[in-house]
Structure 1
């Protein structure tokens, strides 16, 4: 088992701080790196892979620094978010080139094994330019796996995959993690992490906002305070009625309608129709006003 460790890691570009004082340890199994776009996930992955040096702190793979350490690539397989494939090559030629760069003893056999793992054998001789985005993604995963790495880093690996391809890739990553490999994949989609990973690292604005069991962190997200915009036939009367509801923590009224703060999403949305009916008020509009991904993640910074 090869651990990946970040200890007090920061990375800045001039006056811009991309990653701020992150400490984490990744061991065997599948871990999700979760956060909104622009949170710093790619920067973290690139430092783990030795593409970037930390401005402060240390990044190690198997106890050795990843920066300026070419030997680390024997242990690491990386799939970047940005595509880097040559369309004039076939999948087999592309993966074979990766096997030869790693100086494997039997590069042809290794390339065929990796292509079979990602279910691309039937189309391995077609030019990559003719592939769908999902097929190109699988080809890149095969190239990252060809040298049988102990650590696999994937940046938004499910982009462009159809449901069947996505399911197979999840099964493959589960199997590799079960074999004792250390696997980290980044995503900004909660459901991807929920299906694939029990352990999660949440990054918001370059900071590690939460770390640990996904179910615990998902509960924090679900149970956070919620804000709703409400319009009705009598906003003032509805505001008075809502203040008696246990799940409501605050109500504000202006010309646009009501702003309601609730401590429990489900309890409030179930109670509102009953309260309005009892008061003889018709609700014209109910809209969660803080359900952006950024607001969900940002809440974790404050808890």
Structure 2
């Protein structure tokens, strides 16, 4: 199993710093790479893929340096955001060429398997120029998978895909992650990242702003009050009780139940059950209202 490690990595272009002193480690599974436009996500992916030399620091993939090391591509597959597929080729010719470049023992069999995985076998003999954007994207994924890489890097992999194609690609990536592959993908659609992976690396202004499970990241944000939506058998009595708890900053009554603001996630969740039990109140809903990836991301980029 391969891991990706960046140690004190910076990359600059003249006076412009694209990536600034990033240190991170990514192991097997699915990891989402997030950040605002221009934050440095694509630069980080290109550093991982060995397409860019770090101006400072070291990038290692599967124990080998990524830069100036063609051998790393035996274990690495890459799908860039920018399309560079020759439209005059068929998908079969394109994926077969990728298999041949990798010097696989049976390039044709590998190409057939990769096209089957992305559901392009029926259209494999059509020129890529006749494909929809989603089909072109899938042909590029097939070319990146043809040599069965341990590490897969994808920059906006769902671009142009319809809902069915997107669901199939998510299932494919999940299956590969469960099989032990290391997969890093960027997406500007936070819902996609949330569905695929709870583990994120957030890049803001070229720096690593947060790393790990986004729910855990949220709970570490002690300067941001946590918000819960709570429904019970007696919301008004519960509201009165909670207002007397030192961990509660505010309570409001809504159509969905109580909206409770707390500055201490752990203390509040423990106290809530005790208060409810002591007064015979039955809790029916306890829902963190601001623990979504969208909320965590918005807090990180506006901090």
Structure 2 length as normaliser, TM-score? Answer: 0.75
Pairwise CA distance, 1:190: 1.3
Name the residue aligned to 2:159: 159
Q: Note if contact 1:39-1:205 (Cα within 8 Å) is conserved in structure 2.
A: yes
Matched, 1:120 2:120: yes
Q: Note if contact 1:115-1:139 (Cα within 8 Å) is conserved in structure 2.
A: yes
| Residue aligned with 1:170, SS | helix
Q: Note if contact 1:220-1:300 (Cα within 8 Å) is conserved in structure 2.
A: no
Name the residue aligned to 1:72: 72
Q: Note if contact 2:45-2:155 (Cα within 8 Å) is conserved in structure 1.
A: yes
Name the residue aligned to 1:33: 33
Give CA-to-partner distance per residue, 1:163-194, whole Å, 9 cap, x none: 10000000000000111110000112211110
Pairwise CA distance, 1:269: 11
Name the residue aligned to 1:257: none
| Residue aligned with 2:12, SS | strand
Instruction: Give structure 2 stretches of 5+ with no counterpart.
Output: 226-242, 244-248, 256-292
- Cα separation, 2, equivalents of 1:214 and 1:298: 12
Map residues 45-56 of structure 1 onto 2, 5 A cutoff.
45-56=45-56
Q: Note if contact 1:50-1:68 (Cα within 8 Å) is conserved in structure 2.
A: yes
Name the residue aligned to 1:86: 86
Name the residue aligned to 2:177: 177
Matched, 1:300 2:300: yes
Pairwise CA distance, 1:217: 3.7
Tell me the number of residue pairs that the alignment of Structure 1 and Structure 2 aligns: 244
- Cα separation, 2, equivalents of 1:38 and 1:189: 15
| Residue aligned with 2:208, SS | strand
Pairwise CA distance, 1:215: 2.6
- Cα separation, 1, equivalents of 2:19 and 2:120: 36
- Cα separation, 2, equivalents of 1:176 and 1:170: 10
Map residues 1-303 of structure 1 onto 2, 5 A cutoff.
1-217=1-217, 224=224, 297=297, 299-300=299-300
RMSD of equivalent CA atoms? 2.6
- Cα separation, 1, equivalents of 2:186 and 2:213: 16
Instruction: Give structure 1 stretches of 5+ with no counterpart.
Output: 226-245, 247-262, 272-292
